[in-house]
Amino acid sequence: MDKHTRIICVSSIFLLGIICIASGIMYLSLEENNVEKKILVVVEKKQINPETDIEIKLKNLTVEVNTPLSVKIIDYLDSAVSNEVLANLKLDTSSVNVTQPGTYNYTVTYKKKKYNGIIIVKEKQVTNNTLQSITLKTLKYNIGTPLSTDISNYVIEPLTEKLKSTMIIDLSNVNVNKAGSYQYTIKYNNSIYTGTITITESQPTLSTNINETNTTAETNTSNNTNE
């Protein structure tokens, strides 16, 4: 083998090596791009303690005097709860006196934990000079006593002058000169309301001063003797 032939062979081998190395690098690069990367994500479920994680919010309520309180616990809640929680709630409004205006506390208990709310009882208000209905009084007069002409004396609800002007009272069936029980009516807002007036006989006043009575009797006897 001559010198030129050896040079060509060496050059061919060297070139072939370079091509192989380049091919290998390209293959590795392609393989690397095609590798799927997988990430493991673990989701843990949060542990809930029903004793401590449930927060119950109550309403502060305002009612008018003599308005019955609701017995439905859901009417006192200011936050949503599940049916299971609702079934285990206990309402206590025993300290609320709806017949007296004032501010009172009530409680809702859930599994030995108490939540406090406020109920304000206020006087019945007359709003916009209108009333849905009226309540008449039962009155008693002594025989011969003139009847009042002021409608406010016959209606329990507080009245304004404008409201009284819309009412018509009828006392024609009441005989103040004869003892007995009589009915009177007030017409208001296309309705007729009936009340009762009782006329009673006046009881005579008896003297309890015995000495005064005896002295008067002795004086009369003395006068008759002198005559």
35, part of any domain: no
111, part of any domain: yes
Query: In terms of DSSP H, where are the helices of the chain?
Result: 3-34, 50-53, 83-87, 161-164, 210-226
Q: In total, how many domains does the chain have?
A: 2
Same domain, 115 and 145: no
107, part of any domain: yes
Same domain, 194 and 144: yes
- In order along the chain (227 residues), what is the average pLDDT of each group of 10 residues? 58 65 62 56 56 79 92 93 92 94 95 93 73 92 94 93 93 95 95 95 60 47 44
89, part of any domain: yes
Any idea what the CATH number is for the domain that residue 81 is in?
2.60.40.10
113, part of any domain: yes
Domain boundary among 98, 122, 146: 122
147, part of any domain: yes
Same domain, 65 and 118: yes
Residue 120 CB partners (closer than 8 Å, separation 6+) = 60, 61, 62, 63, 102, 103, 104
**Which pLDDT does position 7 carry in this prediction?**
60
93, part of any domain: yes
Tokens of 17: 């090596």
Q: By residue range, what is the domain housing residue 163?
A: 138-200
Q: What is the pTM of this model?
A: 0.38
Same domain, 93 and 146: no
Same domain, 61 and 117: yes
